[in-house]
Amino acid sequence: MSVPVDSLPPIRWPDRPRSSYDVVIVGGGGHGLSTAYYLATRHQLTNVAVLEADYIVSGNTGRNTTIIRANYGLPEAIRFYQHSLEMYRDLEQEIGAAILHQTRGIVWTAHTETAMRTERARCLVNTACGARTVMISPAELKDVVPQIDLAGGGRYPVLGASHHLDGATARHDRVAWGYAAGASQRGVDILQHTPVTGLVHAGDRVAGVQTPGGPIAAGVVLSAVGGRVTALAAHAGVRLPIRTHPLHAFVTNNYAQELGSIVASTELVCYVSQTERGQMLIGAEFDAQPSYSRQSSFSALRAYAYKMTKLLPFLRELRILRSWAGICDISTDFSPIMGETGVDGFLVTTGWGTWGFKAIPAGGEAMAELIATGRAPALIEPFRLDRFARDHLVADHGSAGTR
């Protein structure tokens, strides 16, 4: 049974924070809010605050291209994202808010023999780990995406594609607002315009946060601050293997026909999907140069448009309505970092880079379990921070952008 579209439950906005909480979550994006929700619903921990510097969902969660998939390159990643993908299917019922979830499938086109080998390997490892991905021929691809130019404009001929059947999309702001409402109704305090400017220390442990309104004591502080994590972690004396890079996206006016599947190219490193309003939403790989800038750039826009129009020539007839950028926290092995930091009382959920929207349900569920029980669920064990010191990287460049 689907939830009516206008059914977004209200959020309670407290005037000021309490002086102390069991858990303070820094950052009101999807990960901070879903963790708060699961703390309240699965673990009955409601003496919890989410502190957001700006307004909730103003960061990457409100800027992303909403693609949900599990077609990763490594078993650890596939299992984690597959679990999240499955949680998304039932999320409307779970949070009682319509999130406009649609399973559409994703095709990843290959234009060279090397890419064909990569996609074949992806299909095998996906299948072995429970994600449904199959190789398709150019003719089969044409059936899935009739608009595609198999000659790639003479520049990028399509040799085949992997087809990830369960690829999906959902409304980003509704997902996060649904979690926020569910947490708030159970007693979690969500405070907007409350930046965390430092951490409170008690001996070797973190015991709270500093805000412009004064300190707030906390049993546990979780950093869920998106691209700003290195600055916050530095207050705890934690140096993270993370760099922050901008990522751009843009949207066109409505396309009257339907583009059923999401179309992506691992080699051209760009992707396109159709929004529920009919617009074409286009994204690509993050900027090579680290930066905190959220200004969209004409050169990025021109590069994506050039490549995507070779595959989908109809895009040339459309107009670009808006472009924007977010700032992505990219770890050195291109996988997320979830869990303890070596500093008592200070946890992180970070490294979500260009791929963290799809992880919001599973990431929040796992972080809530870790905070409530002190034990990390097996699903996120591979993503511990100390993997870098132990030389157990989850090196999946395939997690980044379209790769």
Binding footprint of ligand FAD on the chain (CB under 6 A): 26-32, 51-54, 58-61, 63-67, 195-196, 224-226, 228, 232, 247, 249, 283, 326, 328, 352-358
**What is the rounded distance in angstroms from the CA atom of residue 203 to the CA atom of residue 374?**
20
Count the residues in the chain: 403
**What is the rounded distance in angstroms from the CA atom of residue 215 to the CA atom of residue 137?**
60
Strand duo 48-51 + 20-26: pairing: parallel
Q: Give residue for tokens 């670009």.
A: 320
**What is the rounded distance in angstroms from the CA atom of residue 90 to the CA atom of residue 24?**
27
Q: Which residues contact 391 (CB under 8 A, 6 or more apart)?
A: none
Name the residue number minimizing CB distance to ligand FAD.
29
Least Å from the CB of residue 64 to ligand FAD: 3
Q: CA distances (Å), 374 to each of 50, 187, 220, 290, 344, in order?
A: 20, 22, 11, 34, 11
Least Å from the CB of residue 311 to ligand FAD: 18
Least Å from the CB of residue 256 to ligand FAD: 24
SS3 390: helix
Which residues share a beta bridge with 205? 202
Smaller CB separation from ligand FAD, 65 or 159 = 65
Smaller CB separation from ligand FAD, 159 or 325 = 325
Decide if 221 contacts 24 (C-beta within 8 A).
yes
Smaller CB separation from ligand FAD, 292 or 306 = 292
Which residues share a beta bridge with 189? 49
Smaller CB separation from ligand FAD, 8 or 282 = 282
Smaller CB separation from ligand FAD, 8 or 36 = 36
Smaller CB separation from ligand FAD, 309 or 349 = 349
Smaller CB separation from ligand FAD, 129 or 362 = 362
Smaller CB separation from ligand FAD, 159 or 272 = 272
**What is the rounded distance in angstroms from the CA atom of residue 226 to the CA atom of residue 244?**
9
Least Å from the CB of residue 139 to ligand FAD: 28
Decide if 52 contacts 193 (C-beta within 8 A).
yes
| Sign of the four-CA dihedral 318, 319, 322, 323 | positive
Decide if 32 contacts 26 (C-beta within 8 A).
yes
What's 155's DSSP letter?
Answer: T
Q: Give residue for tokens 């926020």.
A: 180
Least Å from the CB of residue 396 to ligand FAD: 14
